[in-house]
Amino acid sequence: MKNQNFLEPFTFSPKGLVLNNSVVMAPMTTMSSFYDGSITNDEVDYYAERAGGPGMIITGVAYVTDGGKGFEGELSIAHDSTVKGLSKIARAIQQNGTKAVIQIFHAGRKTNSKILRGIQPTSASPIAAAYPKDSEEPRELTNEEIENMIKDFGRATLRAIKAGFDGVELHGANTYLLQQFFSENSNRRSDQWGGNFEKRMRFPLRVIEEVSSVIKANADRPFVLGYRLSPEELETPGIRLEDSLAFAEALTDTPVDYIHLSMGSYRRTSLNQPDDKEPILTKFVKVLNNRKPLIGVGSVERPEDAKAVIDAGAALVGIGREFIREPKWVQKVASGELNSIRYQISPYDMDQLRIPLAMQAYLENSFRDVIHFTTDGEQGETYEATLAPMEGFEKKM
C-alpha cells in the first residue's frame, strides 16, 4: 500500500509549486468564524490537526466583499484587516509541508438580507433561486458594480498573498455568483454580461484575468490559481453537462493552474441524461487532455477510492468528509496502518479531532449519515438524517 499512485509528489507547471503528494483536502466550511468573518482559534486548530498529510489543503470559502457573505460563521477576506488572522490559518496548514490555498467567492443570490444585515442580495439578474423556496429576489448588478466586483476578487487575492497562502481557488461552483453569471437560470441579461454562451462566460473569465494579473504583479513565490465548477444544474433553463465541458475547454486557454470539480461522488454520471453511463470525471479528463490538472472528488474515503480517481486520469484527488473523521488519513495510508483509519466517529470523538463547536453542532443535527455517527451502547448503528445544504458537504449521489 505504500506505493499508491496518489502518494507521489505533484508539481504545478509552470508555477513550480511542489506538493508532497497528490491528495488535496477539499474545501469544507467550519462555520466557525466570528460574526464579522474574522478567524477563531477553533479554525486554526482544526486546520493544524489536518496539516502534514495532504499535499494541499483548500480552506472553507471566504467572501471577497461584505455583500458576498453567504452564511453565518463564514471567513472574510474582504478587508485588509483580515490578513493578520488569515495568516494564522496559512501557517497552521503549512507547518508540516502542506500547501495552503484559500477559496474565495461571492454568494450572489445564495444569501439573504438577514445574513447581509438588511442589505438586499445581488446577482446577475433579479431572479430568486429555486432553492430554498423562500429565496429572496436579488437586485441586478449594474455594469459599474460588476467591474468593481472583479476588482474585489483581485484585492482579495492580494490579501491572500500577503497572508502567506500558496494560492487561491475561485469558487465557481454550487450556484454561487461566478456560476450565476454562467447559468441561463440566473443570468437573463442582454448586455455584455449575459445572453449567449460567450457572454455568460465573460464575468468568470474577467475574474480569472484580474486575479492572475494580481498574482503576476505581487507574488514573490509560486502561487497557484484554481477554479472550482459544478458540472450540472437541475433547473430549467440551467447548466447542462455540455455547457460545463465547453467551459472547461475555455479554461484551458486561461492562466488557471488547475480545475476542481464539485460532485458528491467521483463515480457520478449525468443527472440530466440518465442514459449516459460515462462518469462525469472521465468526460472532463478527456476534454482537458492533460492541458490543465484536474482535481477529482466525491465520496473518496478509502485508499482504493483515491487510486480509482487517479487511475481515471485526474492529476489530484480531493478528499473532504473523510478528513473530518480521520485527520491522519494520508499518514496512515502511507505507513500501511489501514486498520487504524477512522471511518466512523461518535460525538465524543469530535473534540479530540479538533472539530470546531459550531461545526460539531451542524454535523450532529444535520449530517449524521455522512459522518457515520455511532452511539454508545448501540455499536455500529448509523443515524439517518435529512441532509441540509452546507457548503462543501454535497449529498452523496
Average pLDDT score over residue span 176-192: 98
Least confident piece of the model among 28-37, 88-97, 330-339, 376-385: 376-385
- Is it the case that residue 125 has pLDDT exceeding 90? yes
Q: Which residue has the cell 495532504?
A: 54
In degrees, to the nearest 5, what angle opens at C-alpha 107 toward C-alphas 102 and 110? Answer: 140
Check residue 101 and give its pLDDT. 99
Helix (H, G, I), strand (E, B) or coil at 268: coil
> Could you tell me the pLDDT band of residue 379, with boundaries at 50, 70 and 90?
very low
> Could you tell me the pLDDT band of residue 372, with boundaries at 50, 70 and 90?
low
- Is it the case that residue 388 has pLDDT exceeding 70? no
CA neighbor of 102 nearest in space, from 164, 42, 43, 44:
164
> Could you tell me the pLDDT band of residue 348, with boundaries at 50, 70 and 90?
confident
Instruction: Provide the CATH number for the domain formed by 5-371 in this structure.
Output: 3.20.20.70
Nine-digit cell string for 206: 474577467
CA neighbor of 101 nearest in space, from 231, 262, 288, 228:
228
Q: Where are the domains of the chain?
A: 5-371
CA neighbor of 40 nearest in space, from 95, 99, 82:
82
CA neighbor of 261 nearest in space, from 248, 273, 274:
248
- Is it the case that residue 60 has pLDDT exceeding 60? yes
pLDDT digits (tens, 9 = 90+) for 294-320: 999 999 999 999 999 999 999 999 999
Check residue 369 and give its pLDDT. 54
Q: What is the pTM of this model?
A: 0.93
pLDDT, the chain, mean: 92
Q: Is 355 exposed, middle or buried (0-12, 13-18, 19+ CB in 10 A)?
A: buried
Helix (H, G, I), strand (E, B) or coil at 261: strand
Nine-digit cell string for 59: 480552506
Residues paired with residue 168 on neighbouring β-strands, in sequence order: 102, 225
Check residue 81 and give its pLDDT. 98
Question: Do residues 391 and 61 lie in contact, with contact meaning Cβ atoms separated by under 8 Å?
Answer: yes
Check residue 31 and give its pLDDT. 93
Average pLDDT score over residue span 189-200: 98
Q: Which amino acids are annotated catalytic?
A: 176
Least confident piece of the model among 45-49, 191-195, 263-267, 380-384: 380-384
Least confident piece of the model among 169-183, 236-250, 381-395: 381-395
CA neighbor of 156 nearest in space, from 144, 168, 146:
168
- Is it the case that residue 54 has pLDDT exceeding 50? yes
> Could you tell me the pLDDT band of residue 219, with boundaries at 50, 70 and 90?
very high
Average pLDDT score over residue span 367-385: 40
- Is it the case that residue 103 has pLDDT exceeding 80? yes
Helix (H, G, I), strand (E, B) or coil at 194: coil
Question: Do residues 35 and 67 lie in contact, with contact meaning Cβ atoms separated by under 8 Å?
Answer: no
Check residue 367 and give its pLDDT. 60
> Could you tell me the pLDDT band of residue 371, with boundaries at 50, 70 and 90?
low
- Is it the case that residue 168 has pLDDT exceeding 80? yes
Integer Cα distance of 223 and 319 in angstroms: 22
Question: Do residues 256 and 263 lie in contact, with contact meaning Cβ atoms separated by under 8 Å?
Answer: no
Return phi, psi of residue 213, to 5°. -65, -35
Question: Do residues 179 and 239 lie in contact, with contact meaning Cβ atoms separated by under 8 Å?
Answer: yes
- Is it the case that residue 41 has pLDDT exceeding 50? yes
